[in-house]
Structure 1
Amino acid sequence: MRAETAAALASSGIDPASVVVAEDVGGGTYNTATRLTLADGRRLVLKVAPGAAGLAYEHDLLATEAEYYRLASGPLPSVVGAGSGFLLMTELPGTNWDVADVDRARLRGELGAIVARLHGVTGETFGYPQDPPHRTWASAFTAMTDAVLADALHYDVRLPRPAAEIAHLVRRHGPLLDLVTTPVLVHFDLWPGNILVDGEHVSGIIDAERAFWGDPVAEFVSLTLFRDLDQELVDAYRAAGGPAPFDPAAARRLALYRVYLDLIMLVEMVPRQDTDAGRAEFLAGHLAADLDAAQRAL
């Protein structure tokens, strides 16, 4: 057993000697995850933060994830222990949506209702929990985008538009962003790999370390990654009382949030030492198209 695993268990009140099986969990792109089976039958997952540098906002992410699980309501892991650089939680049943054979339309409806429930948590300020808070969403989102653009310059990432031009575009959307007055807890990483399916139901939402307090509309970027909104998801979300509006102003903001996620995915390739030229070209193409859409939304 790794020394860091034993230390995390002991800090969480669990005897490291009670672990009968420990196996690495693949599929993650940032933290290291280990599945632990205890002698009493409990199955836990331990996440440990990397030591290497990443993007500016990628600090204390496991503390953010723990906070998300403690605050949000839904099919989420329970926090067993958390500390400097680690998070220990219960394992949820199921397999990742992206590898499961599912009835997509029906499960998209179920997912919409789950997301509406997740969005029932509101706060007092905007931004990443691990960063300084902002009184307005426009201020928070501008700071978030500026940080990723600074990362792009730091890592010498080739963007399809100059960083200064992108920053200016975000600032021009300030009045539109100021329409958001209630901070909602947003997961912001709900792509199929972070949604678990067990049989015919959505059984879990995982990997909430990218969460922030912001516009619930932003959630629908990862929920519809590289494609348009689907009606099954929207209808179920609305029926369950989800707070995200789907009016013209929301559609305009969604275009801007797509730009933000495109930037993250493109820039993070460098500190993660991802040298896939095809992936970089694909992401840069989407970023260019989404920038054009955001420009038209003004």
Structure 2
Amino acid sequence: MRNKRHLGQAGLDELLRQAGVDPASVTAYDELTEGTFNTVYRIGRSGGDLMLKLSPDPAAPVLTYEHGLIRTETEYYRAALGKAPVPEVVHAGDDFLLMSALPGRTWFSQAEVITERAALRRELGALVAGLYQITGPGFGYPQHGLVDRWSTAFQSMVDDVLRDAARFQVDVPGDQVRRLVLDRIDLLDGVQTAVLIHFDLWDGNILVDDGRITGLIDGERAFWGDPVAEFVSLTLFGALDDDLLAGYGSPVDAEKLSLYRVYLYLIMLVEGTPRGYGPEHEQLTRLVRRHLARELKELGP
């Protein structure tokens, strides 16, 4: 991907020194290849592995909300530490984050061999319910400043991605989306408490080891908002399932869930252009457009 930044050993050694870690303790630097935005290295050390995340090159094109995501991820982990299995922040710079490595591999990478799916979904629902005890002083993306109303924050989030769509010349139904949001201001204003939302909790960002969830990672897209918003990524391209809801312990508002799904689908459609997605992503794009059309139909004309 054209926005990813790579460092040689000398550059990696220098970042470790900035973080107060002796490069001589390192046994290996291994670059992970799964992500499409940041660059991530696993740092092998006899005293415990670390993970190093680098933000994209400052000159790389990004979406409006993607500025300052290292700071947001840092805030997410610090807020959630002790309440959920998240990495411990070792050091946070302006454009890099050094954190502890967690046990396990992604749920996605083990999907074919995991046999405890129902139990894991219940455990995941309970973890999410626990995270909602973490409240913030306002709504929105931390890197952009918080506001006192969820409707104001969400309108701004939607407007930003629609402006990004125009900037990157991606065809999306902007006027229809804006109208659907405006029609639901009262519904959005019913959200009185800002809770910590990961917003990217699909199976690729959940670590599993020995039948238990051992990590929630990649918290860079977090914001303070409506608890319902978390269920977009928890049910990506799928329906709410009984096991997840049983672990969560509360119903989920279907109308708001549709609205927040629209927002994520817009992001997924627009981000492919600055990231340089090729023909191999055309199938995903078609899938996203089908789901976007379905949610728009659910929400009305």
Q: Into which bin does the TM-score normalised by the smaller protein fall?
A: over 0.9
- Tell me by how many angstroms 1:278 deviates: 2.3
For 1:14, give the aligned amino acid.
Answer: V
Distance in 2 (CA, whole Å) between partners of 1:30 and 1:263 is 17
1:210 maps onto 2:221 in alignment = yes
1:65 maps onto 2:65 in alignment = no
Q: Which residue of 186, 194, 201 corresponds with 1:190?
A: 201
Q: Which residue of 99, 104, 124 corresponds with 1:111?
A: 124
Secondary structure in structure 2 of the residue aligned to 1:209: helix
Distance in 2 (CA, whole Å) between partners of 1:26 and 1:199 is 24
1:290 maps onto 2:298 in alignment = no
TM superposition score normalised by structure 1:
0.93
Secondary structure in structure 2 of the residue aligned to 1:109: helix
Q: Which runs of 4+ in 1 moved over 3 A?
A: 1-4
For 1:69, give the aligned amino acid.
Answer: Y
For 1:254, give the aligned amino acid.
Answer: L
Partner in structure 2 of residue 175 of structure 1? 186
Unaligned runs of 5+ in 2: 1-7
Distance in 2 (CA, whole Å) between partners of 1:138 and 1:207 is 26
- Tell me by how many angstroms 1:76 deviates: 0.6
TM superposition score normalised by structure 2:
0.92
- Tell me by how many angstroms 1:81 deviates: 0.5
Distance in 1 (CA, whole Å) between partners of 2:256 and 2:235 is 15
For 2:32, give the aligned amino acid.
Answer: V
Distance in 2 (CA, whole Å) between partners of 1:8 and 1:271 is 27
Q: Within 5 Å, which residues of 2 pair with 1:39-78?
A: 40-51=46-57, 52-72=60-80, 73-78=83-88
Q: Which residue of 242, 255, 259 corresponds with 2:258?
A: 255
Deviation by residue 1:130-174 (Cα, 9 ceiling, x = unmatched): 012111000000000000000001111022x2x122112111111
Partner in structure 1 of residue 175 of structure 2? 164
1:280 maps onto 2:285 in alignment = yes
Q: Which residue of 223, 227, 231 corresponds with 2:242?
A: 231
Deviation by residue 1:81-119 (Cα, 9 ceiling, x = unmatched): 001100000000001101212211111011111111122
Distance in 1 (CA, whole Å) between partners of 2:145 and 2:84 is 27
Q: Which moved more, 1:213-222 or 1:92-101?
A: 92-101
Partner in structure 1 of residue 3 of structure 2? none
Distance in 2 (CA, whole Å) between partners of 1:178 and 1:3 is 51
Distance in 2 (CA, whole Å) between partners of 1:88 and 1:265 is 27
Q: Which residue of 87, 95, 100 corresponds with 2:105?
A: 95
Secondary structure in structure 1 of the residue aligned to 2:50: strand
Distance in 1 (CA, whole Å) between partners of 2:266 and 2:41 is 29
For 2:156, give the aligned amino acid.
Answer: A
What CA RMSD, in Å, does the superposition of the two structures yield over aligned residues?
Answer: 1.3
Unaligned runs of 5+ in 1: 239-244
Deviation by residue 1:54-93 (Cα, 9 ceiling, x = unmatched): 1000011011111111111211100000011000000000
- Tell me by how many angstroms 1:4 deviates: 3.6
For 1:158, give the aligned amino acid.
Answer: D
Deviation by residue 1:190-233 (Cα, 9 ceiling, x = unmatched): 00000000011111100000000000110000000011101111
Partner in structure 2 of residue 241 of structure 1? none
Number of matched pairs = 285
- Tell me by how many angstroms 1:7 deviates: 2.6
